[in-house]
């Protein structure tokens, strides 16, 4: 793929469909739960991307029988009822925060041995100290390097009990604890030291526990924390477990009609998705998009002949992965946008606030940042090359802005550096976007 990649603009209003891959968040949670389950679990509609392949490889390195079939989008996992076969393993998680946090908790369930967990240089900048401290409160032995990876884990089962945790940096800290809680000898009580935490993905994790057989009455959730009692090993009661389409990936195609006009059917998403990022569709409706929900898809439409959509304003904290989509769309809206509640995104795959501000400024926009917000005032678009900082969401978000025919002649005006970074969660993104452009001609 050409690097930097010149994004071909849409010269006609969008008209067609785009199928989003399986959810990364659900695929990686399901992999962990299937490995901890009693017996074989067949996962369907799995995401095959860098992040999920890292998780598959790590589970295999831990001794689990994990059989991926990319052509069929399935992964067959033989669970061992909470046992970890390998007594020693060196796990490399790249820049996958999800894998690092979930695997750290999983490894604490071992009965003996030594596990190390490390990643690329950026992974060593991503916070994990609060999770390690919480696991140690529950009887684990997890050592960090000054609060960051690499981790050294010496497992001896997980006694459980109560752990106090600050999960403002990432709700995945809580999800990691929840995933292993049924296997802790005394269950787990999680006390939140700060209650303003993104709950959507924690709620998703709790729902998946129920889907894998954890009794609903053994789970308690409140503003102050969570309690999960010890229970029987996970088991998928259905012949297979179907992974939902990725709501975060869907955000780009929900946004596209507001950039180019027309209608896009986003296949693989549902209004009642377990994923909190589906709420981005609601934000688009608030600024003027029309969305029709169907059984397994959504049709998003916008008529540009009636003028630009209204600007964004307010808190994106509960679904912050989509703030980048909103920021990239902001230059095409009718006034200044203000996106708040995103301070924690400075410590993800890159400093996402700074990356979006820089890219927007290169494209001629007025973009100003505070520690936890980004303000964008539309200005005439200028040709630009976008530094993605190897962040998949930066690349995909700016691709939507680049789909706008800024010059009016169909010639590319926006280039995306390192476009293959999308393989982290959506390897076929640019192919799907181009196919949709071709459908619209």
- Tell me if residue 246 is catalytic: no
CB atoms within 10 A of CB 391: 24
Enclosing H/E stretch for 90: strand 88-92
Number of H helices, E strands in the chain: 12, 23
Rg (CA), the chain: 22
Q: How many Cα atoms are found within 13 Å in the side-chain-facing hemisphere of 43?
A: 34
Residue 349: closest CA among 410, 397, 413, 292 = 397
End-to-end Cα distance, the chain: 23
Q: Give CA–CA dist 314/346, Å, rounded.
A: 18
Please check whether residue 104 is in contact with residue 142, taking contact to mean a CB–CB distance below 8 angstroms. Answer: yes
Alpha helices (runs of H) in 275-382, residue ranges in sequence order = 280-286, 323-329, 352-362
What are the backbone dihedrals phi and psi of residue 189, each rounded to the nearest 5 degrees, phi first? Answer: -115, 125
Q: Is the peptide bond before 337 cis (omega within 30 degrees of 0)?
A: no
CB atoms within 10 A of CB 272: 7
Q: 3-state DSSP call for residue 339?
A: strand
Please check whether residue 155 is in contact with residue 111, taking contact to mean a CB–CB distance below 8 angstroms. Answer: yes
Q: Give CA–CA dist 121/245, Å, rounded.
A: 30
Q: Give CA–CA dist 291/216, Å, rounded.
A: 33
Q: Give CA–CA dist 211/203, Å, rounded.
A: 12
Q: Give CA–CA dist 128/241, Å, rounded.
A: 30
Can you name the residues that pair with 67 across neighbouring β-strands?
Answer: 76
Catalytic residue among 133, 277, 321, 387: 321
Distances in Å between the Cα of 343 and the Cα atoms of 149, 239, 249, 319, 410 are 21, 42, 21, 13, 37
Residue 270: closest CA among 290, 252, 291 = 291
| Residue owning tokens 């795959």 | 349
Beta-sheet strands, E only, within 184-261: 188-192, 219-222, 225-228, 241-242
What are the backbone dihedrals phi and psi of residue 43, each rounded to the nearest 5 degrees, phi first? Answer: -95, 130
Residues taking part in catalysis: 321
């Amino acid at each position: 793929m050409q690097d930097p990649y010149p994004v071909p603009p849409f010269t006609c209003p969008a008209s067609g469909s785009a199928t989003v891959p399986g959810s990364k968040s659900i695929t990686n949670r399901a992999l962990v739960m299937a490995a901890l389950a009693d017996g074989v679990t067949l996962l369907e509609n799995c995401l095959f991307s860098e992040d999920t392949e890292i998780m598959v490889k790590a589970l295999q390195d831990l001794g689990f029988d994990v059989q991926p079939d990319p052509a069929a989008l399935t992964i067959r996992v033989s669970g061992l009822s909470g046992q970890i076969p390998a007594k020693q393993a060196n796990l490399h998680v790249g820049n996958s925060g999800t894998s690092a946090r979930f695997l750290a908790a999983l490894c604490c369930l071992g009965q003996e041995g030594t596990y190390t967990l490390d990643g690329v240089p950026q992974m060593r900048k991503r916070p994990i100290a609060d999770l390690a401290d919480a696991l140690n409160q529950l009887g684990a032995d997890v050592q960090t390097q000054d609060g960051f990876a690499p981790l050294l884990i010496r497992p001896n089962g997980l006694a459980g009990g109560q752990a106090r945790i600050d999960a403002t940096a990432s709700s995945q800290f809580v999800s990691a604890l929840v995933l292993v809680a049924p296997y802790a000898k005394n269950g787990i009580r999680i006390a939140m030291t700060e209650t303003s935490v993104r709950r959507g993905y924690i709620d998703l994790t709790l729902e998946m526990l129920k889907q894998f057989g954890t009794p609903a009455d053994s789970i308690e959730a409140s503003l102050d924390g969570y309690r999960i009692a010890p229970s029987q090993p996970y088991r998928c009661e259905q012949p297979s477990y179907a992974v939902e389409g990725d709501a975060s990936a869907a955000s780009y195609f929900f946004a596209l009609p507001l950039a180019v006009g027309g209608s896009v059917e986003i296949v693989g998403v549902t209004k009642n998705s377990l994923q909190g990022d589906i709420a981005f569709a609601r934000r688009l409706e608030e600024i003027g998009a029309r969305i029709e929900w169907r059984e397994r898809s959504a049709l998003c439409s916008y008529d540009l002949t009636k003028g630009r959509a209204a600007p964004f304003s307010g808190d994106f904290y509960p679904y912050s992965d989509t703030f980048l989509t909103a920021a990239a769309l902001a230059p095409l809206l009718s006034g200044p946008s203000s996106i708040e509640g995103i301070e924690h995104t400075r410590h993800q795959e890159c400093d996402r606030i700074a990356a979006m501000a820089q890219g927007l400024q290169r494209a001629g926009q007025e973009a100003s940042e505070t520690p936890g917000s980004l303000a964008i005032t539309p200005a005439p678009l200028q040709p630009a090359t976008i530094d993605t900082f190897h962040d998949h969401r930066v690349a995909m978000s700016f691709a939507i802005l680049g789909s706008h025919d800024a010059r009016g002649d169909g010639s590319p005006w926006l280039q995306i550096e390192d476009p293959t970074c999308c393989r982290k969660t959506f390897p076929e993104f640019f192919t799907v976007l181009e196919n949709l452009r071709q459908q619209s001609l």
